[in-house]
Amino acid sequence: MSTEIPRQRLQDYIARRAGNAVEIRRLERLPGGAIQENWALDIRVADGEWAGVHELVLRRNAASSVAASHGRAEEFQLLRVAAAAGVKVPQPCLLCEDTDVLGGPFFIMHRADGIAAGHRVVKSGENGDLARDLARQLARIHGIKPDTPELDFLPTSNGSPALDRIEQYRAYLDALDSARPTLEWGLAWLERHAPKKNTTVLCHRDCRTGNYLVADGELTAVLDWEFAGWGDPLEDIGWFCAKCWRFGATDRDAGGIADRETFYKAYEAESGKTIVRQRVHYWEVMAHLRWAVIACQQSARHLSGEQPSLELALTGHVVPELELEILRMTKETK
C-alpha cells in the first residue's frame, strides 16, 4: 500500500457518496498510529444532506499489521455499536471496502477535539473528574453483551477468557524468532492463577491513557477499537490501571491521572457491579505480558523489513522493563 493518499480519487469517491461536489481542503497524516494510519481530512460539500464544512479523520491499514487487530470494517461497526450505547467515540461517517479507491479498506469519522499523548495528559496532574468519566465509559462498553447481532463477527470464548488470552499470547510468542523466557514464565504464572469465568462483556482491550482525547481537562472521545472483543470486564480495568500505562505518574494508579479508588467507585456506580479489588492484580500482570508481546511484534515488523520505522524499532526497547515488572508482580504474589 502506498504511503500517500491519491487526493483526487478520494475526493471523487466522497462526492459519489455525498451525491454532490466535494472539495478536500486538508489531507494530512496525523502523528502516532503505529498500528493503523490516521489522516486529518477536512472537506467542504457543496449541497445536499452533507452540505457544509466537515473536520474528519480517515483511518486505514498501516503497511503491516499486528495479529488480533480487527479490519477497518469491523472497527467501523464497533464504533457504531459503542456510539449507540452512549460511549463517547468519534462519530463514524462512512466505510469504504472498495480497494480501487485507496488500495485497501478505510473508514471516515468525525474528528474529536483534544490531545491523546499520554505523557502530556499525565503532566496536567491529578484529574479525578476525567478518571470518573473514563470509568463510566468503560461501564457502558461493558454493558454491551454477546447477544448484540451487529457484533456477530467477534469470536466467542469456549471457556475461560483468561485462558483464551494465554493461548493467544503463547502462539504469538512462538511465532517470533527470538526466545523470551521471562514472558514464558509470565504466561505460566497466569495459567496457574487463572480466575474462574466471569460475566462475558464487550472489552475495549486498549482503553488506557494515550488512547483517549482530552480537551480542557475533559474527555471528548475513546479511540482505537481495533482490539475489542468478548471477555472479562476486569481485563479492561487491569489494562487501564497497569503501571506501564501511567507514563511516569506511577503514584496515580488509574492511568496516571487519579487514584485507583476514584476510578473503581465511578465504574461501580455506573455499572451496578462491584469490582473485586484483589482480582485486578491478575489482569495487571496480564496487561504487562500483553504489552510486551505486542512490543515484540512491533519490533519484528521493523526488523523484518515489512515496515521500516524508528518508532516500531524503539518500541522493542520497552520489553525488558515490562519483563522486570512481570517478575516483580508475580514474585509478590504467593
CATH of the domain at 87: 3.30.200.20
Side chain identity at 59, as an amino acid letter?
Answer: R
Q: Are residues 235 and 281 in the same domain?
A: yes
pLDDT at 235: 97
The 10s digit of each residue's pLDDT in 250-269 is 999 999 999 999 999 999 99
Q: Report helix, strand or coil for 251.
A: coil
| Mean pLDDT of all residues belonging to the chain | 92
Check pLDDT > 70 for residue 330.
Answer: yes
Query: What whole-number distance in Å separates Cα of residue 281 and Cα of residue 57?
Result: 36
192: CB partners within 8 A, 6+ apart: none
Separation between Cα atoms, residue 230 and residue 202, nearest integer Å:
5
Placement of cell 480501487 in the chain: 100
In this predicted structure, which of 85-94, 167-176, 234-243 has the lowest mean pLDDT?
167-176
Shortest CA distance to 155 belongs to which of 228, 207, 78, 72?
228
What are the tens digits of pLDDT across the range 201-218? 999 999 999 999 999 999
pLDDT reported for residue 1: 44
pLDDT digits (tens, 9 = 90+) for 6-16: 999 999 999 99
Q: What is the pLDDT of residue 144?
A: 98
Residues 91, 126: one domain?
no
For position 259, which CATH number holds?
3.90.1200.10
What's the number of domains the chain is made of? 2
Those residues with Cβ within 8 angstroms of residue 278's Cβ, 6 or more apart along the chain or in another chain: none
Residues 241 and 176 in one domain: yes
For residues 59 and 36, the answer to whether their CB atoms sit within 8 Å is: yes
Q: What is the rounded CA–CA span in Å between residue 170 and residue 238?
A: 20
Residues 268 and 185 in one domain: yes
Domain end among 110, 144, 171: 110
Q: With 50 as the cut, is the pLDDT of residue 245 above it?
A: yes
Q: CA 109, 111, 116, 121 torsion: positive or negative?
A: negative
Q: Which of 62, 45, 11, 27 is nearest to 226 (CA)?
A: 62
Measuring CA to CA, how many Å separate 206 from each of 18, 138, 210, 235, 303? Answer: 33, 11, 9, 10, 25
pTM given for the model: 0.92
Tell whether 69 and 162 lie within a shared domain: no
**Which domain does 29 fall in, by range?**
7-110
Give residue 159's pLDDT: 77
User: Residue 2: inside a domain, yes or no?
Assistant: no
Q: Does residue 1 fall inside a structural domain? A: no
Condensed to tens digits (0 to 9), the pLDDT of residues 21-57 reads: 999 999 999 986 556 899 999 999 999 999 999 999 9
- Three-class DSSP category at 231: strand
Last residue of a domain, one of 45, 76, 110: 110
Give pLDDT, residue 176. 87
256 with 316, same domain: the answer is yes
Does 160 share its domain with 246?
Answer: yes
Asked if residue 37 is part of any domain, the answer here is: yes
Examine the domain organization and report whether 105 and 122 are in the same domain: no
Q: What is the pLDDT of residue 69?
A: 81
Q: How many angstroms separate the CA atoms of 233 and 200, rounded?
A: 7
Which residue, 51, 75, 110, sits at the end of a domain?
A: 110
